[in-house]
Chain A
Amino acid sequence: MTHLADLPVWAAIPVALLLLLGASLALIGSIGFVRLRSFYERVHAPTLGTTMGIGSVLLASMLCFTVLQSRPALHEILIAVFMIVTTPITLMLLARAALYRDRSEGSDDVPSAPPAQTTAPSAPDAAPPV
């Protein structure tokens, strides 16, 4: 633990606070993931950890290694960019798959599929044909 003793106070306190913030956000997201009722509510909860949670931990790591090595440690940005790009993709794929499965089972919890638009869509407030 010699390297942690080299860390000055002005860097150690933000590192500690950012670590605790990130871990708390991940824990809150996971508790919400356990406690929420339906799948479409549960999709929202882990994003707390995947955005600001992992962002805070990466900031703490960047600060720690930048001060320790006396040069900017920027490789944590790789993980940050990767998380920002991939989290919406995976969650949208998963939610669409869940919606498809629920619709194909005829579940009442999800709205039914919109009708296929074969003709040009009419204005929604047009008068119905008599």
Chain B
Amino acid sequence: MTTTLLLWSIFLAQILLVVAMACATFRVLRGPRAQDRVLGLDTLYVNATMLLLTFGIRTGSTLYFEAALIIALLGFVATAALAKFLMRGEVIE
């Protein structure tokens, strides 16, 4: 009974996170300007981190945690670099 509850709540949380990632992807594809796309990419990274953590709870292995940590690190570096690029050069758009 407890296992069923946990499995269904993990499944529902994963569906909610995938819909959130779809919203962020929509903004990456349709964002009117470059800063919207960069912000959408940042949101996508955070949602992917949470999705990997739910996978880790579901399977009970800590491998997913390390993947989530790496995604969080790369998301910060990518967003900071892209924001710096938007600040300096007028190349995009």
Is A bound to B? yes
Binding site for B on A (CB under 8 A): 1, 3-5, 7-9, 12-13, 15-17, 19-20, 22-24, 26-27, 29-31, 33-34, 39, 42-43, 46, 49-50, 53-54, 57-58, 60-61, 64-65, 68, 75-76, 78-79, 82-83, 86, 89-91, 93-94, 96-98, 100-101, 104
Top 5 closest pairs, chain A to chain B, by CB = A16-B9, A30-B23, A23-B13, A30-B20, A3-B60
What A residues does B3 contact at CB under 8 A? 1, 4-5, 7, 12
**In the bound complex, do residue B6 and residue A75 qualify as a contact, i.e. CB atoms below 8 Å apart?**
no
Contact of A5 among B2, B56, B62 (CB under 8 A): B2
* Contact among A12, A75, A76, A93 for B2, CB-based, below 8 A: A12
Contacts of B84 in A (CB 8 A): 93, 97
Majority SS of interface residues in chain A? helix
Flag if B69 contacts A79 (CB, 8 Å): yes
Which of A23, A26, A57, A60 sits near B12, CB closer than 8 Å? A23
Instruction: Give the distance in Å from the alpha carbon of A50 to the alpha carbon of B34 in the complex.
Output: 21
Specify which chain A residues have a CB less than 8 angstroms from the CB of B83 in the assembled complex: 90, 93-94, 96-97
**CA of A20 to CA of B19, assembled, Å:** 14
Residues of chain B lying within 8 A (CB to CB) of residue A82: 69, 72-73, 76
- Using CB atoms and an 8 Å cutoff, list the residues of chain B in contact with chain A: 2-3, 5-7, 9-10, 12-14, 16-17, 19-21, 23-24, 26-27, 33-36, 38-40, 42-43, 46-47, 49-50, 53-54, 56-58, 60, 62, 65, 68-69, 72-73, 76, 79-80, 83-84, 86-87, 90
Question: Separation in Å of the B77 CB from the closest CB of chain A?
Answer: 9
Measured between alpha carbons, how far is A3 from B6 in the docked complex, in Å?
Answer: 11
The answer to whether B17 and A23 have CB atoms under 8 Å apart is yes
Q: Residue B40 contacts which of A12, A33, A89, A91 (CB distance < 8 angstroms)?
A: A33
